[in-house]
Amino acid sequence: MRILTIETTCDETAAAVIGDNLEVLGSVVASQDELHHMYGGVVPEIASRAHLERILPVIDETLRRSGVALADLDAVAVANTPGLAGSLLVGLVAAKALCVAADLPLIAINHLQAHVYACRISAGCEVFPCVGMIVSGGHSSLYRCRTALEFDLLGSTIDDAAGEAFDKVASMLGLPYPGGPAIQKAAETGNPKAYRFPRSLLGDREVLDFSFSGLKTAVRYTIAGPGKPDFGNIHLNETQVADLAASFQEAVVDCLVGKAMLALEKTGLNTLCVGGGVAANSRFRTRLGEEAERYGVALHAAPLHLCTDNAVMGAIAVERFRAGCFESLDLDVLPGLVRNKG
Amino acid sequence: MYQFQFQSGSEADTFRLGAALARHLPDGAVVALIGTLGAGKTRLVQAIAEGCGVDRRDVVSPTFVLVHEYPGERMLYHIDAYRLKDEDEFLELGPEEYFESDGITLIEWADRVEDCLPPERLEVRIEVIGEEKRVFELVASGRKYEAALDALAASLRAE
């Protein structure tokens, strides 16, 4: 079996060819970081224009690296939810066109499920059932994953996503985009106890939700006080930046790790799979490892190269292929967040 | 009345303002939200959404996704211009469709796309005056917004 997987949910244009045993025959991620860097964020118009420009070259290059011709494929799979509408459409239309041209079945990928599935790929063994956690720029969610394809939402952010908080706090501290790596680096020399920032909802054992907007506001208030600050003109010395970064990062990590452990306790599951861009944060990974050991649970954090968006995690399409879950050609994009469904 | 100032000492106050807005905003209202990082723009949208019968937990920051739609007793469109580079990018989102609908359109970081907004609208400027304290400056442009602001002020005073 050979499945072409396509990923265009946000800022990456990516494709891969996956085989029977989840082996990666070829994979391409056309990173758009350079473009985004100029504008301090995921710039959607640029993203969808870049998707259009890159999608065919990325697919061609993926097939070339895989040594697979279009006619050798068994299916085409594409992430159609959730994400930016215009970006999702580029991937979906490309996938449909290939299906029509080569008479192949179409498979839909849920981008969030795929992030959890990245852990299954690297584990090399079954990880389900498990608690699945996705922490990225757009999402901070916990799922009970009954199987690779059956997810029930346990909790998610009620305001900002963790990655978004990293980006916005980085911009307040005068650090570059993307905020995650910049804050991690600045935090290395900082004191995580220098500032006591709030851990919203952490003490509430009834819920598995996150809230990072109060934390963002607390950092803002600590830096700038009342009024309308121009963050470009606030001078912080290196120690202040390091301490603020470390204290902020520690607060986010406390909330993420705390709720992940609570989810394991509440579900009675003993496997935790963590994916998404924030899963690449080294402090988060260290703390997860420590807590997992303390609680005696199996931890599978996505390997670094599969934390940020990629098409390899679309290998979840192999599960859908085996389960006979194919889509008709009128499949649409579902840009919205998925609070009420897996 | 063209202008109305509301002092909020806590999130509970902000939710009172949101509930009053949900009651008095006319159909098809466009609300421009302006304030710095952490001012409480998303909080106010949550408050208005709750007043419209939407679970506030469903209302999250649209910074990455750009537009959220919430079906409540009234349809809510929640747009975020934070990451947009210029007004052309905003126009590519097709905002006229939201403006011309019967639902309420709420735009965070509206000052970044000011020239693309309809001339008749409600502007809400949020000022941070303390860690929890905020001043909401509501400015109505157009008669239906002025009438809404009158009714809103009266109902908040009566509470």
Q: What's B123's domain CATH number?
A: 3.40.50.300
* Interface test mutation site (partner A, options B83, B116, B131, max chain A beta carbons within 10 A): B83
Rounded Cα distance, A6 and A193, in Å: 43
Domain boundaries, chain A: 2-114+307-322, 124-306
Higher pLDDT, B36 or B64: B36
From CA B66, how far away is CA B79, in angstroms rounded? 6
By Cβ distance, the residue of B57, B83, B84 closest to A209 is: B57
In this structure, are residues A302 and A279 in contact, taking their beta carbons and an 8 Å threshold? yes
Number of domains in chain B: 1
Question: What CA–CA distances, in Å, run from A281 to A31, A245, A294, B84?
Answer: 19, 13, 20, 26
Q: Does A303 touch chain B (CB under 8 A)?
A: no
Q: Is the pLDDT of residue A45 over 70?
A: no
| Chain A contact set for B65 (CB, 8 A) | 82-84, 138, 335-337
How far does the CA of residue B104 sit from the closest CA of chain A (Å)? 18
**DSSP summary character for residue A340:** T
> Per residue in B43-101, pLDDT tens?
999 999 999 999 988 899 988 878 888 888 999 999 999 988 788 888 877 889 899 99
Note whether A85 and B64 are within 8 A (CB). no
> 3-state SS string over A278-331?
HHHCHHHHHHHHHHHHHHCCEEEECCHHHCCCCCHHHHHHHHHHHCCCCECCCC
Identity of residue A335: P
**Class of the CATH-defined domain A2-114+307-322:** alpha beta
Cβ within 8 Å, pair B40-A164:
no
Token pair for A117: 């599935």
Indicate the helix (H) or strand (E) that contains A176: none
Segment holding A78, helix H or strand E: strand A75-81
DSSP B94: -
Most B-contacting residue of A134, A159, A175 (CB-CB within 10 A), to test interface? A159
Helix pair angle (B11-24, B143-158), 10° resolution = 130
Q: Determine the pLDDT at residue A208.
A: 98
Provide the pLDDT for residue A37: 57
The number of CA neighbours under 13 Å toward the Cβ of A258 is 19
- Indicate the average pLDDT of chain A: 92
Task: Report CB contact under 8 Å: A336, B42.
Answer: no
Task: Confirm if A77 and A109 have CB atoms less than 8 A apart.
Answer: yes
Nearest chain B residue (CA) to A159: B60
* pLDDT(A36) > 80: no
Give the distance from CA A237 to its chain's centroid: 32
Pairing type for strands B3-8 and B134-141 reads antiparallel
For A267, the token pair is: 């579900």
Identify the domain containing residue B119 by its residue range.
2-158
Please state, in angstroms and rounded to a whole number, the distance separating the CA atoms of residues B151 and B147.
Answer: 6
Cβ contact, residue pair B69, A44, below 8 Å? no
Of A41, A335, A339, the CB nearest to B83: A41
CA distances from A32 to A10, A36, A71, A185, B56 (A): 10, 6, 30, 21, 34
pLDDT attached to residue B94: 80
How do strand A13-19 and strand B134-141 relate by DSSP bridges?
Answer: unpaired
pLDDT of residue A68 exceeding 60, the answer is yes
**B62 preceded by a cis bond (ω within 30 of 0):** no
pLDDT in tens, B105-126: 999 999 999 999 999 999 999 9
| Whether residue A124 has pLDDT greater than 90 | yes
Q: Give the three-state DSSP class for A210.
A: strand
Q: Pick the more confident residue, B57 or A193.
A: A193
Nearest to B111 by CA among B147, B139, B70: B139
A84 touches chain B (CB under 8 A): yes
pLDDT single digits (tens) A16-25: 999 999 999 9
Question: Quick check: A189 pLDDT over 70?
Answer: yes
Q: Are A43 and B85 in contact (CB under 8 A)?
A: yes
Q: For chain B, give me the number of helices (H) and strands (E)?
A: 5, 7
Report the C-alpha gap between A296 and A290 in whole angstroms: 10
Residues A268-282: what's their mean pLDDT? 98
pLDDT score at B141: 97
Edge-to-edge order in the sheet of strand A106-110: A24-30, A13-19, A2-7, A75-81, A106-110
pLDDT of residue A174: 93
Per the omega criterion (within 30 degrees of 0), is the bond before A303 cis? no
CB A339 within 8 A of CB A112: no
Query: Are A47 and A10 a contacting pair, CB within 8 Å?
Result: yes
CB contact under 8 A, A45 and B58: no
Percent of residues, chain A, with pLDDT higher than 70: 94
Q: Which residues of A touch B40 (CB under 8 A)?
A: 217
Lowest mean pLDDT among A59-63, A298-302, B62-66: B62-66
Q: pLDDT confidence of A41, banded at 50, 70, 90?
A: low
Give this prediction's pTM: 0.90
Query: CA–CA distance from A207 to each of A198, A264, B24 (Å)?
Result: 17, 13, 33
A164·B61 Cβ contact <8 A? yes
Q: How near does any CA of chain B get to the CA of A69, in Å?
A: 35
Lowest mean pLDDT among A223-232, A277-286, A291-300: A223-232
Tell whether the model's pLDDT for residue A39 goes beyond 60.
Answer: no
For the cut 90, the answer to whether the pLDDT of residue A87 exceeds it is: no
Nearest residue to B122 (alpha-carbon basis) of B147, B101, B97: B147
CATH code: domain A124-306 is 3.30.420.40
pLDDT at B65 (0 to 100): 77
Q: By percentage, how much of chain A surpasses pLDDT 90?
A: 82
- In A, which residues are within 8 Å of B85 by CB distance? 39, 43, 45-46
Q: Kindly tell me if the per-residue pLDDT of A302 is higher than 70.
A: yes
Please answer yes or no on whether A226 and B129 come within 8 Å at the CB atom: yes
Q: Which of A84, A159, A337 sits opposite B42 (nearest CB)?
A: A159
